[in-house]
């Protein structure tokens, strides 16, 4: 899938094989990709060229990714450049530290290329919609939204719901696919996000996803698949059908919060832009 217009990415990774593999795949998707083998080279390149997104490894010689983020945060010009951390370090402390230092997302390696591309595209989409409204480089405030949680396991449903409520979300629940469709169709205000299990009785998550994305009335709603079915074929199918992201069970709460916040922000900004376009039509 080629995106137009092209976006400029900087891939920072000390592993030559990783740099080559990821950069080739991103180039085939239509991105302009520059690479750097370490932190000093990356900062030097950022001093010359502005990038739409920086993909940053953490564990590198000379200067690790944390220090790169610190230097960027201290720089008036570089602190506005969005950074997605792509690292094999999977601990919650690392995720929280990177977000506190200004990273916009955090992807744990190894990650399927389609998942990485989906998260890159969503970060770029948010940046594109948000840029005209940006007045400062401060970290965006957490945003709540109306969420439909679709899960047939009562214990999972309870845990996920409590997490979403902690993140200021208003949560409706459905125990299977048919109930989910009934709630979507009967929702007066609509949903900002649907967290959707795959393996469910009566109607599985793929059928629900197909219903959502084939309907002009509902296809603007963000969807995150949350499933223990995490083979590459399942993930690719979900993304090709229009899911915005895929989170594996058992989930990491910090990572899930990142995904939820990112999807809700992007959806709300899309809604704002659509409303502005309608107002402009009324004035013309």
List the domain boundaries for the chain: 8-133, 146-273
**Mean pLDDT throughout 33-48?**
92
Going through 67-196 in order, the beta strands assigned E by DSSP cover 83-87, 105-108, 146-150, 170-174, 193-196
pLDDT of 4: 42
> In which residue are the tokens 């220090």 written?
67
pLDDT of 66: 96
CATH architecture assignment, domain 8-133: 3-Layer(aba) Sandwich (3.40)
Higher pLDDT, 178 or 112: 178
pLDDT of 128: 64
Residue 202 has a CB neighbour count (10 Å cut-off) of 12
Query: Each residue of 231-249: pLDDT tens digit?
Result: 888 988 999 999 999 988 8
Provide the whole-model pTM. 0.67
Query: Each residue of 71-84: pLDDT tens digit?
Result: 999 998 898 899 99
Cα–Cα distance, 80 to 140 (Å, whole number): 12
Rg of the Cα atoms in the chain: 19
Do 8-133 and 146-273 show the same overall fold? Answer: yes
* Fold of the 146-273 domain: Rossmann fold (3.40.50)
Residues with Cβ < 8 Å from 79, sequence gap 6 or more? 72, 73, 102, 137
């Amino acid at each position: 899938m080629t995106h137009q217009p092209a976006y400029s990415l900087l891939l920072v990774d000390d592993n030559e094989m990783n740099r080559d593999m990821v950069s080739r795949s991103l180039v085939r998707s239509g991105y302009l990709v520059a690479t750097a083998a370490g932190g000093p080279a990356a900062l030097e390149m950022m001093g010359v060229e502005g990038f739409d997104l920086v993909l940053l490894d953490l564990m590198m010689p000379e200067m690790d990714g944390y220090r790169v983020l610190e230097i960027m945060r201290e720089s008036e010009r570089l602190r506005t450049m969005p950074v997605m951390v792509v690292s094999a370090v999977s601990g919650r402390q690392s995720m929280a530290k990177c977000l506190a230092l200004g990273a916009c997302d955090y992807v744990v390696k190894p990650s399927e290329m389609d998942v990485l591309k989906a998260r890159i595209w969503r970060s770029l989409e948010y940046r594109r919609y948000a840029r005209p409204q940006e007045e400062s480089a401060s970290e965006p405030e957490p945003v709540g939204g109306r969420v439909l949680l679709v899960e047939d396991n009562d214990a999972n449903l309870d845990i996920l719901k409590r997490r979403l409520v902690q993140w200021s979300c208003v949560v409706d629940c459905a125990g299977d696919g048919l109930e989910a469709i009934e709630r979507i169709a009967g929702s007066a205000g609509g949903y900002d996000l649907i967290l959707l299990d795959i393996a469910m009785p009566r109607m599985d998550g793929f059928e629900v996803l197909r219903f959502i994305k084939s309907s002009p009335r509902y296809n603007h709603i963000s969807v995150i698949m949350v499933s223990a079915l995490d083979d590459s074929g399942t993930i690719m199918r979900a993304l090709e059908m229009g899911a915005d992201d895929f989170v594996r069970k058992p989930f990491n709460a910090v990572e899930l919060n990142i995904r939820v916040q990112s999807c809700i922000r992007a959806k709300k900004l899309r809604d704002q832009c659509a409303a502005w376009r309608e107002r402009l039509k009324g004035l013309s």
